[in-house]
Amino acid sequence: MKTAFKLACRNLIGAGLRTWLNVIVLSFSFVVIIWMKGIMVGWDHQAKTDMTNWEIGGGQYWHENYDPYDPFTLSESHAPVPEMFSEEITRSEMEPMLIVQGTIYPQGRMQSVAVKGINPKQKIFLLPTHKLDTVTDAVPAIIGALMARNLKLNVGNYLTLRWRDSKGTFDATDVVITEVFTSNVPAIESGQIYIPLEKLREMTMMDGEATLLTFADSEKERSPVEGWVHKPKDELTASVDEMIKTKTVGQSVFYGILLLLAMLAIFDTQVLSIFRRQKEIGTYIALGYTRREVVGLFTVEGAMHSVLAAVVSAAYGIPFLAWQAKVGWTMPMDVSEFGMAIAQTLYPIYSFGLVVSTVLIVVLTTTVVSYWPSRKIAKMNPTEALRGRIQ
Amino acid sequence: MENNSIIRIKNLTKSFPMGKTQFTALRNINLILGKGEFTGLIGPSGSGKTTLLNIVGSLDSPTSGEAWVLDHSIGKLTAKQAAQLRKEKLGFIFQSYNLLAVHTVFENVEFPLLLLKMGASERKKMVMDALEWLGLTDKVKSKPPQLSGGECQRVAIARAMVKKPSLVLADEPTANLDAANSHHILKTMETLNRELKTTFLFATHDEKVIGYLHRKIYLLDGKVDRDERKVNSEK
């Protein structure tokens, strides 16, 4: 095997431009696949981190009737905060949130919203809730930039907010936008308005009640609480995993095409080599190789393209990938309306496993593609090969 | 004579399928070659000399009869055993040199020693010795496309001789060379035969080669026509 490697290296280097063209195509595949997979891992990491920081904290308890995809459940999705959580709430390690359905009237238009009551002094979310701790002539409210842009709202704008209290009675008041925040999590921005928790409880006559309880510590053991459903962090971020999985399948098609092109070049080279190098094959056999050993030599030679490609990839790929990890990849279009947790700039993350698995996939595929045409050698008559007569 | 023999061929026949019929290239050949001989298989194209050389070189096998080369029955060897025999005991010289074009002269000559898994320093010494015999020490780093025909054939001889084989098989070694180069090559081979006691078996119809042979086996239509020996083999 050592001899085969030595000979394969000599043959490859000796083949010059033909080798380097294949190697460059393959190395391009290496770098693009690692980069694209890195983007996916980076997106997954960013989406989960943003969800944790802006939406779900370390996990949540949901009122048993709460269904985020059905706004009609909101009128039934509230209950007093269980006594057992008082201490955690006092220590700001848990934050209750009350959610009711409401309507706002920006510039004479009507817009249904989820009105979310949140503690202005909370420390679990990155939401600028301190802006709710403001003395104004109307109820202070914060909204996301996505909604602000859609409804053409700015800080200082007044809106009429209408809601129904716990008895079903409609009421209305003015709210003033005290802050417009920007996040990468559309789920907390679109159709949502945040006001102080105690104010909302007072408005809806739901004193001490909540729809969600978000806790900071995801590691702490949580026991079931009657009337509330425990939603661990992993369960809440499962949607991100699903989304990334879907995108990854789409990307795999792209990798496939990229690899196919590279493999086509290798396959073509191998077929051409076996046709053009018949005398050489015959010579190897005459000098003491068996036909199977020649198959092995040609397979190693083909597979060595991928090893050389890995070295070439490292030469220009490592600086490129490191630079990308630092500056990130800014998407050419506005992604705020994609409806998923995605930042405008994604920072790829490359793991050791990602690099090793990509290298292994490419090397194995190249080896198989190199072996496939080389099998023809096993059927060659050495005396005919020596004369270069095989067609 | 038989105890000192390096090749023994008995009732050897070789046929090839040709369309729906069989073409018989060799018919009932019987030969014995002793150690250190400088022998040629002589005949026109299609007489079967290359076929016989290929069988002796374990690149092909007989259809019937037996060929014993260095006490190995060619027809009974597995592919691996045949490769082992070629690797350790046989040297080949071809009409069109069959050098590895992308390798240097040194690497071409080193190749058989690589297959024998020799150490680097031993390989280097043996390659340099072989190149010195053939007067190629100044071409060590050249590649075959940079050499003349005569130089290429000398490299091929060096490659065949480097491992000091028991038997060298040369198929039309001078066919692509001019007269001066042919004589130079043949003198070199004759010297190697004399000094290293290596057995040489040629397949040729070149008069220049025939003049150097100590024994001439004439083949005609796949049969041994004549077997002549020089009375005084010392030239």
Give the residue from A153, A182, A216 where a domain finishes: A216
Chains A and B: how many Cβ contacts under 8 Å?
A: 69
Do A287 and B57 count as a contact with CB atoms less than 8 A apart?
no
Closest partner CB to A288 (pick from B83, B107, B143): B83
Please give the pLDDT value at position B1.
43
Q: Is residue A209 part of a domain?
A: yes
Q: What are phi and psi of A292, to 5 degrees?
A: -65, -35
Whether the Cβ atoms of residue B203 and residue B170 lie closer than 8 Å to each other: yes
Query: Is A226 inside any structural domain?
Result: no
Residue A329 lies in a domain: yes
Quote the CA–CA distance of A274 and A299 in Å, as a whole number.
11
B90 CA: distance to closest CA in chain A (Å): 8
Percent of chain B with pLDDT over 90: 75
Looking at CA atoms only, how far is residue A321 from chain B in angstroms? 35
Q: How many CA atoms lie within 13 A of A117 on its CB side?
A: 26
Q: What is the mean pLDDT of residues A86-113?
A: 92
Per-residue pLDDT reduced to its tens digit, A322-381: 999 999 888 766 655 565 666 778 889 998 988 999 889 889 999 999 898 888 888 888
Pick the range with the lowest mean pLDDT from A111-115, A217-221, B127-131, B213-217. A217-221
With respect to residue B159, please indicate whether it lies within any of the assigned structural domains. Answer: yes
Statement to judge: residues A250 and A166 lie in one domain: no
Residue A81 is given by DSSP the state P
Together in a domain, A245 and A375: yes
Pick from B79, B112, B143: CB nearest A287: B112
Pairwise CA distance, residues A57 & A50, whole Å: 10
A251 and A198 inside one domain: no
In this structure, is residue A294 part of a structural domain?
A: yes
Residue, of A156 and A275, whose pLDDT is higher: A156
Question: Which chain A residue shows the shortest CA-CA distance from B57?
Answer: A286
Do A40 and A178 have their domain in common? Answer: no
- Domain limits for position A34: 2-52+239-386
| Total number of domains constituting chain A | 2
List of chain A residues whose C-beta atoms are within 8 Å of the C-beta of residue B87: 287-289
Best mutation target among B14, B53, B92, B172 (most A Cβ atoms within 10 Å) is: B92
Q: Residue B118's domain spans which residues? A: 38-62+78-229
Q: Determine the pLDDT at residue A287.
A: 93
Band (A69; pLDDT cuts 50, 70, 90) = confident
With respect to residue B85, please indicate whether it lies within any of the assigned structural domains.
Answer: yes
Q: What angle do CA A366, A368, A373 make, to 5 degrees?
A: 100
Can you give the pLDDT at residue A341?
A: 61
- Determine, for residues B79 and A290 on separate chains, whether the beta-carbon distance falls below 8 Å: yes
Distance CA A193, CA A98 (A): 12
* Residue A292 shares a structural domain with residue A353: yes
What is the total count of domains within chain B? 1
Mutation target for B interface from A290, A294, A301, A389: give the one with most B CBs within 10 A.
A290
- What's the pLDDT band for B133 if we cut at 50, 70, 90? confident
Q: Which burial class, exposed, middle or buried, applies to B19 when counting CB atoms under 10 A from its CB (0-12, 13-18, 19+)?
A: exposed
Question: Of A201, A216, A231, which residue sits at a domain end?
Answer: A216
pLDDT-derived band at B232 (thresholds 50, 70, 90) equals low
Instruction: Give pLDDT tens digits for B182-200.
Output: 898 899 889 989 988 899 9
Identify the residue among B114, B141, B167, B169 best suited for mutation to test binding to A, counting A beta carbons within 10 A and taking the highest: B114
Q: What is the CATH number of the domain that holds B192?
A: 3.40.50.300
Q: What is the pLDDT of residue B233?
A: 47
Considering only residues A122 and A7, tell me which one the structure prediction assigns the higher pLDDT.
A122
What's the average model confidence in pLDDT over A58-75?
A: 90
Tell me the mean pLDDT in the region B72-78: 95
Q: Are strands B199-204 and B167-171 parallel, antiparallel or unpaired?
A: parallel
A100 and A197 share a domain?
Answer: yes
Q: What is the mean pLDDT of residues A118-137?
A: 92
Write out chain B residues lying below 8 Å of A7, CB-based: 111, 114
The ipTM estimated for the assembled molecules is 0.91
Model pLDDT, residue B235: 42
Residue B2 pLDDT greater than 80, yes or no:
no
To the nearest whole Å, the CA of A19 is away from the closest chain B CA by 12
Distance from CA of B127 to the nearest CA of A (A): 16
> Is the domain of A295 the same as that of A381?
yes
A233-292 pLDDT, tens digit each: 999 988 888 877 887 788 788 888 888 888 888 888 888 888 888 889 999 999 999 988
Decide which of A216, A247, A279 is a domain's last residue. A216
Residue B87: which of A283, A288, A292 has the nearest Cβ?
Answer: A288
pLDDT in the model for residue A385: 87
Burial class (CB in 10 A: 0-12, 13-18, 19+), A385: buried
**Domain annotation covers residue B91:** yes
- Are A377 and A284 in the same domain? yes
Q: Is residue A201 assigned to a domain? A: yes
The dihedrals phi and psi of A379, each to the nearest 5 degrees, come to -100, 0
A285 with A158, same domain?
no
pLDDT at residue number A241: 81
Residues in CB range of B227: below 8 A, 6 or more apart: B31, B215, B216, B217, B218
Say if the Cβ atoms of A3 and B107 lie within 8 Å.
no
Is B32 part of a structural domain of the chain?
A: no
The alpha carbon of residue B84 is apart from the nearest alpha carbon of chain A, in Å, by 6
Residue A196 sits in the same domain as residue A271: no
Give mean pLDDT, residues A200-219: 93
- Residue A46's pLDDT is 87
Chain A positions with Cβ closer than 8 Å to B:
3, 6-7, 10-11, 13-15, 279-280, 282-283, 285-293, 382-383, 386
Residue A221 within a domain: no
Contact call for B87 and A3, based on CB within 8 A: no
Cβ within 8 Å, pair A7-B83? no
Greater confidence, B81 or B188?
B81
Whether residue A220 has pLDDT greater than 90: no
Tell me whether residue B4 is in a domain: no
Average pLDDT of span A297-325: 92
- At A162 the pLDDT is 95
Task: Looking at the structure, tell me whether residues A71 and A34 fall in a common domain.
Answer: no
Question: Region A123-138: what's the mean pLDDT?
Answer: 91
Mind listing the pLDDT tens digit for each residue in B29-55?
A: 999 999 999 999 999 988 999 999 999
**Same domain, yes or no, for A269 and A137?**
no
Sign of CA dihedral A341, A342, A344, A345: positive
**Pick from B79, B86, B114: CB nearest A6:** B114
Of residues B182 and B110, the one with the higher pLDDT is B110
With 60 as the cut, is the pLDDT of residue A390 above it? Answer: no
Sort out which chain B residues have CB atoms less than 8 A from A297's CB and list them. Answer: none
Q: Check: CB of residue A21 under 8 Å from CB of residue B118.
A: no
